């Protein structure tokens, strides 16, 4: 059941990214302090941000499980 829920959430995110990408085809550039990227499609920036967020969110439970297992043992 958990896999179904996770798959549904992921599919919803992918569908929303695709919808927003089609509607917002303009180019944007990212700026961070003195660094500026090349012009990228808005949907690609959004998809990259979601992918990074999913990756970090998926790694956080792994970091937390090590500290709790050491306390119990």
Q: What is the per-residue pLDDT across 18-71, written as a single tens digit (0 to 9) for each? A: 787 777 778 888 888 888 888 888 877 877 887 888 888 888 888 876 555 555
Structural domain boundaries of the chain? 37-73
Per DSSP, what are the bridge partners of residue 40?
Answer: 28
- Report d(CA 38, CA 53) in Å as an integer: 22
Contact (CB, 8 A) for 40 and 24: no
Q: What is the pLDDT of residue 34?
A: 84
Instruction: Give 39's contacts (C-beta < 8 A, 6+ positions apart).
Output: 27, 28, 29
Q: What is the pLDDT of residue 70?
A: 56
């Amino acid at each position: 059941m958990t896999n179904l829920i996770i798959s549904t959430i992921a599919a919803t995110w992918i569908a929303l990214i695709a919808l927003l990408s089609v509607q917002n085809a303009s180019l944007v550039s990212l700026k961070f302090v003195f660094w500026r990227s090349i012009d990228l499609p808005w949907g690609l920036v959004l998809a990259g941000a979601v992918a990074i967020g999913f990756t970090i969110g998926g790694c956080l439970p792994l970091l937390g499980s090590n500290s709790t297992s050491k306390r119990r043992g």
